Structure 1
């Protein structure tokens, strides 16, 4: 997600581990419990170092549909599918750790050797580049305004004019954007909490990534209750992050993304998890 890291209002979460068979169609992951009792560090194909032999360990923060979320007891999503491509090329299987998002900006789990990469719908920013190395961009992101129908608003200007309550996910670029527009948004810990805040009347409108809103509106109850307002172009791009100096893994990730874009695999994954391709790419 276009998320900023930081400890604000974020409760400690138990690390949960998921594993996946590294196959092109292997988008679902089976839960295997907590802990990381593997064989220790190793090397994947091409001499790429990994923190656990035979695995590509990914840190993420659940849920953030459609990028990573649990469905029927399995972790699936756009980011999951793309990292599966990396794992397949490296001849290992992806293992996912559900971890607090505030560690991503500092690269804490990468530096400590708990994870090989972070994949969490994370925007590439100059500030984050100080602590981690990013892959090539894999997704162009925009923000969107979603409001209750009874509020009668479709723009941030209207929200401000009517003095309504605006919400956003804590420590995200959506929250930062709202603050930059003069709002003091109600901060929610997760995307699920953002939606619940809108449903329960804690806020009248929210700013969050457009793909997330698009997914919510596929539910008829949400579509009946809420109105999609303005699309906010922020020029953000998502990237996967690795420990600074991990050039071999970063190159492997870049190759998987670049190859997937060239051979049509990326478009298929995009259509499966995000929806119709942007204009000019269909």
Structure 2
């Protein structure tokens, strides 16, 4: 994940996701009516953990991919999974969980969620625990610094022994450690930004779309500077429990069809901005 300010436009058509109650697994943000029974099947015989639902594990907030606005969970990932839910003739239900669970696949393996969508980078380590969809997003990291620091690159940060902040358990954390830093790890993207604002760190390394979203806020733009992009070759994927071939095939088809018919580009523009040249 790069992993986990707000986008401006409304939801796309399809299943709507509304805030619900607090449960043992975390804050449940559910679509439509109250929960049904136990394990069931969606259209095409695809197994789901709850009748009439496609239960998505995510980690909030992580704009523009998933975040709460006016009592609803919205964002690019949410809209993309809505396409999967529509194909399966069910409604999406979102469960907010710690990001560390995405690395291990814990909530997928325990049957609490059908899939995980959280701006999550596909890595060989994670593939040992979960199965990933086809990639749906090409990601780069970004360095954001306090303007008063004058930092513009990781090389400068290293030479000046600057303190860097990252989100815990993300590839941003792994990357900065590999570059010889000892980053300060924060629980959420919001906490990362607050750490920079309060001077706990001199700069942060996080997914570029997230940083770009922060800078849409005039206060952030006045305080912080975007440093050089860090191209790590990362790509996001949606994960399912290992061996869940039917659900994985449905996710892949939804992504591929969205790319082919222009829906993907519409969602990208709505939640992130103009697609990079050559993307679709």
- With normalisation by structure 1, the TM-score equals 0.90
Structure 2 match to 1:31: 19
Q: What is the DSSP-based 3-state SS (H/G/I as helix, E as strand, rest coil) of the residue aligned with 1:212? A: helix
The answer to whether structure 1 residue 105 and structure 2 residue 93 are counterparts is: no
| Alignment counterpart, residue 56 of structure 1, candidates 51, 54, 62 | 54
Structure 1 match to 2:255: 257
| Alignment counterpart, residue 137 of structure 2, candidates 136, 139, 150 | 139
Summarize deviations over 1:43-94 as a string: whole Å, max 9, x none: 1111111111111011111111111111112100110000000000110000
Summarize deviations over 1:109-146 as a string: whole Å, max 9, x none: 11111110011111111111111111000101100000
Unaligned runs of 5+ residues in structure 1 are: 5-22
Q: Is the 8 A contact 2:15 2:91 kept in 1?
A: no
Q: What is the DSSP-based 3-state SS (H/G/I as helix, E as strand, rest coil) of the residue aligned with 2:50? A: coil
Structure 2 match to 1:2: 2
Q: What is the DSSP-based 3-state SS (H/G/I as helix, E as strand, rest coil) of the residue aligned with 1:34? A: strand
Q: Is the 8 A contact 1:24 1:88 kept in 2?
A: no
1:167, distance to aligned residue in structure 2 (A):
1.0
Q: Is the 8 A contact 1:27 1:76 kept in 2?
A: no
1:24, distance to aligned residue in structure 2 (A):
5.3
- Matches of residues 1-282 of structure 1 in structure 2 within 5 Å? 1-3=1-3, 25-26=13-14, 28-35=16-23, 37-281=35-279
Summarize deviations over 1:175-199 as a string: whole Å, max 9, x none: 1111111111111111001100111
Q: Is the 8 A contact 2:3 2:207 kept in 1?
A: no
- The 2-side partners of 1:166 and 1:103 are apart by 24
Moved over 3 A (4+): 34-37
- The 2-side partners of 1:70 and 1:164 are apart by 33
Summarize deviations over 1:212-255 as a string: whole Å, max 9, x none: 00000000111111110010000111101111110000000000
1:107, distance to aligned residue in structure 2 (A):
1.3
- With normalisation by structure 2, the TM-score equals 0.91
1:281, distance to aligned residue in structure 2 (A):
3.9
* Cα distance, 1:203–1:28 mapped onto 2, change above 3 Å: farther
1:272, distance to aligned residue in structure 2 (A):
0.7
Q: Is the 8 A contact 2:3 2:206 kept in 1?
A: no
Aligned length: 264
- The 1-side partners of 2:90 and 2:15 are apart by 14
- The 2-side partners of 1:55 and 1:24 are apart by 18
Unaligned runs of 5+ residues in structure 2 are: 5-10, 29-34
- The 2-side partners of 1:279 and 1:194 are apart by 30
1:26, distance to aligned residue in structure 2 (A):
3.8
1:160, distance to aligned residue in structure 2 (A):
1.4
Moved more, 79-88 or 66-75: 66-75
- The 1-side partners of 2:228 and 2:108 are apart by 37
1:31, distance to aligned residue in structure 2 (A):
1.1
RMSD: 1.6
